[in-house]
Amino acid sequence: MIGECVKNIQMIDGAANATFSVFQVTNDEFSLIFPSPGQDMEIVEDFIGRLGKKAAGMILEPIWERPILKRDANGIHGTLFYDNNNRREHFPATKREVDWDRCNLNAAQQHLFSLNR
């Protein structure tokens, strides 16, 4: 199974330990969590709302068994937010990192993101 894991997602949650761990996912799992073209951010409640609690759980359960050390991860391809519903209003509608409002970015980020939209 690990041989199929080609992408890494970071889990951002409200835990006091603030580990924000990274997990390996398959292309199929990634496309179910991040279904829109270029999407690389998702709020877990939206994911569960799309697929239903049971189906979402079946996708997420094996992912939790595939942690990877940040230093060993070859990139972070997506971010899944837990316990962050209060930040929903700040997310770009596209849920793509490159679409953040310019006022939230420094000049270097503005340039980088504009090249990758």
Question: Contact at 8 Å (CB) between 62 and 5?
Answer: no
Supply the DSSP string of the chain, one letter for each residue: -GGGEEEEEEEE---TT----EEEEEHHHHHHHS-STT--EEEHHHHHHHH-HHHHHHHHHHHTT-EE-GGG-S---EEEESS-GGGGGGS-TT--GGGS-GGGS-HHHHHHHHHT-
Model-level pTM? Answer: 0.89
| Residue 9 pLDDT | 98
pLDDT in tens, the chain (117 residues): 455 778 999 999 888 888 899 999 999 999 999 999 999 999 999 999 999 999 999 999 999 999 999 999 999 999 999 988 888 888 999 999 999 999 989 999 999 999 998
| Residue 3 pLDDT | 54
* Angle of CA points 24, 70, 11, to nearest 5°: 60
| Residue 1 pLDDT | 47
